Amino acid sequence: KYIKYLRPVRVIDFAPFVFTMDGSWLLGQIAFVYAFNKVKPSAIIDKLIEITLDVLVPGRGAGGSNWWNQGWRMIEEQADRTSKEMDIRGELRKWDEEFPFMHHELIVRYIAGFFASTVVMTVYNELRGGRTRKR
């Protein structure tokens, strides 16, 4: 009785992207799986921590006029960086213990997969003529 009201849907609108049920969807899935498995989350996390430390622990300048003061300031800066790095890694460890189903490395893998999928689908759709293609 209600089947006559159902009609097939070919295009699904989601955010700014239009996902069609053609090759772009399949290529997006393949790109997601590939990136999810191939990404090295520890390298990405290390780089993000390094960038964060560069922002949080600024350099101390040129230091004093002699080599002793310059060396002492370098030691202080390295101690601050190491302290902050241990704090950040401790917070990540606490996050992993509190939310074991969303481990920080798993989040990095998901983000990499979504990014790869979006890029592949966008490139595929642009090569095929974009969203405004006439049939």
Task: Indicate whether 133 pLDDT > 50.
Answer: no
Condensed to tens digits (0 to 9), the pLDDT of residues 34-78 reads 999 999 999 999 999 999 998 888 776 655 567 777 777 888 888
The angle that helices 67-98 and 41-56 make with each other, rounded to 10 degrees, is: 130
Task: Indicate whether 127 pLDDT > 60.
Answer: yes
Q: What pairing do the DSSP bridges indicate for beta strands 17-20 and 11-14?
A: antiparallel
Which tops the pLDDT comparison, 55 or 134? 55
Tokens of 6: 């159902």
Tokens of 31: 């790109």
Read off the pLDDT of each residue in 107-127 and give the average, rounded to a whole number: 92
Give the distance from CA 65 to its chain's centroid. 43
